[in-house]
Amino acid sequence: MAMASHVSDNVQEVEKSISEAAPCHYMLKIQSFSLLAKNGIEKYESAEFQAGGYKWKLILYPNGNRSRNVKEHLSLYLVFADVGSLFRQGLEVHAVFRFFLLDQSKDEYLLVHDAKDNNRRFHRLKHQWGFDQLIPIRTFNDVSNGYLLDDTCMFGAEVFVTKETRPGRAECLSVVKDAISCKHVWRIENFSKLDSEYLKSNVFFSGDQKWKIQLYPKERQHVSGTHISLYLALDDSSTLTDGSKIFAEFTLRIQDQLQSRHIAGKVNHWFSESSQESGWAKFVSLVHFHRTGTGYLVKDVCVVEAEVIVHAVSSTL
């Protein structure tokens, strides 16, 4: 016997019917039901149960879900229990579910389900479905209906997973409005006595990212040893998830401390996990750098400067 009922619930179109078969996935028996309200228990979460390869639980509001302004009805919901996996894996689980309420007098069940047996999508933004108005409290309390006898009742649930999906890759590109230029000055002393392959500046910030300048006094990897190599690099690539990118405009310069005829290079670059630095292997020749009359090395001090503007960030979703 079917009884159609259209109610403004969490599930919009509800159908109620009678079944002699018990639910195959979960039963919840509550004794001393009336004491829930008297003891201030406005919400009860069941233990977890397995169905369709996933963990679920029921949430019952014996006097209605006040957060949804439900009055004079019981509210019952099915919840995807492992919410963390929905977030971590971007998982979507499609399921059809039914709730049961035992008529203890007739040994049969009131079956409450979506009138159209629609699949409901459980995902990171929606991991709970159910009925705000499962049954009127007056009907539930009426002994002649058999739902509450000796202050005891039994609810049940069946959950049938029909599909599971994991969305394809997605990204979000955020362009920075009114991007701010950040300048960092690096003073290198005893330059002629440097014996390491390369030096790195202190870390500085631009666009919420950590950066550093890398300088190779005798060219990177000593390819020819005739130039100074100069690069801008991300200091902490762990902030970049797989597929994330940072678009930055930057200028590197070695200051002419006497005549302000600086040696400068300017470029745009997409920094990523696989491309963490950008710059010039032959930024300036050592012959020009050490030429008499230039101010690139004064009292064995070299001053390097970086200006960085982060214009956009692309991140995975």
- What structural domains and CATH numbers belong to the chain? 14-165 (2.60.210.10), 171-316 (2.60.210.10)
**Structural contact between residues 175 and 312, judged by C-beta atoms closer than 8 angstroms:** yes
> Shortest CA distance to 26 belongs to which of 47, 6, 8, 42?
47
**Structural contact between residues 26 and 160, judged by C-beta atoms closer than 8 angstroms:** no
CB atoms within 10 A of CB 173: 10
Question: Which residues have CB under 8 Å from 133's CB, separation 6+?
Answer: 7, 8, 9, 14, 64, 70, 73, 74, 75
pLDDT of res. 223 = 66
Question: Which residues have CB under 8 Å from 39's CB, separation 6+?
Answer: none
Question: Which residues have CB under 8 Å from 24's CB, separation 6+?
Answer: 158
Distances (CA, A) of 131 to 6, 97, 124, 209: 11, 11, 20, 47
What secondary structure does DSSP assign to the chain, as a single string? -EEEEE--SSSSEEEEEEESSPPSSEEEEESSTHHHHHTT---EEPPPEEETTEEEEEEEETT--GGGT--SEEEEEEEES-HHHHHHHT-EEEEEEEEEEEETTTTEEEEEEETT---EEEBTTB-EEEEEEEEEHHHHH-GGGSSSBTTBEEEEEEEEEEEEE-----EEEEEPTT---EEEEEEEESGGG--SS-EEPPPEEETTEEEEEEEETT-GGGSSS-EEEEEEEES-GGGSPTT-EEEEEEEEEE--TTT---EEEEEEEEEETTB-EEEEEEEEEHHHHT-TT-SSSBTTEEEEEEEEEEEEEEEE-
Cα atoms found within 13 Å of the Cα of residue 195, Cβ hemisphere only: 1
- Residues 270 and 278: their CA atoms lie apart, in Å, by 9
- Residues 246 and 272: their CA atoms lie apart, in Å, by 6
pLDDT of res. 273 = 86
> Shortest CA distance to 231 belongs to which of 262, 189, 200?
200
Question: For residue 256, which phi and psi values (nearest 5 degrees)?
Answer: -90, 105
Q: What is the pLDDT along the chain (317 residues), one digit of tens a residue?
A: 334 333 334 655 788 999 999 999 999 999 999 999 889 899 999 999 999 889 999 999 999 999 999 999 999 999 998 877 766 666 788 999 999 999 999 999 999 998 776 789 888 788 899 999 999 999 999 999 999 999 999 999 999 999 887 666 667 889 999 999 999 999 999 999 988 888 999 999 998 889 999 999 988 876 678 999 999 999 987 667 667 899 999 999 999 999 989 999 999 999 998 899 999 999 999 999 999 889 999 999 999 999 999 999 998 76
Cα atoms found within 13 Å of the Cα of residue 223, Cβ hemisphere only: 9
CB atoms within 10 A of CB 174: 9
pLDDT of res. 1 = 39
Beta bridge partners of 181: none
pLDDT of res. 315 = 84
- Residues 160 and 133: their CA atoms lie apart, in Å, by 22
Whole-structure pTM value: 0.54
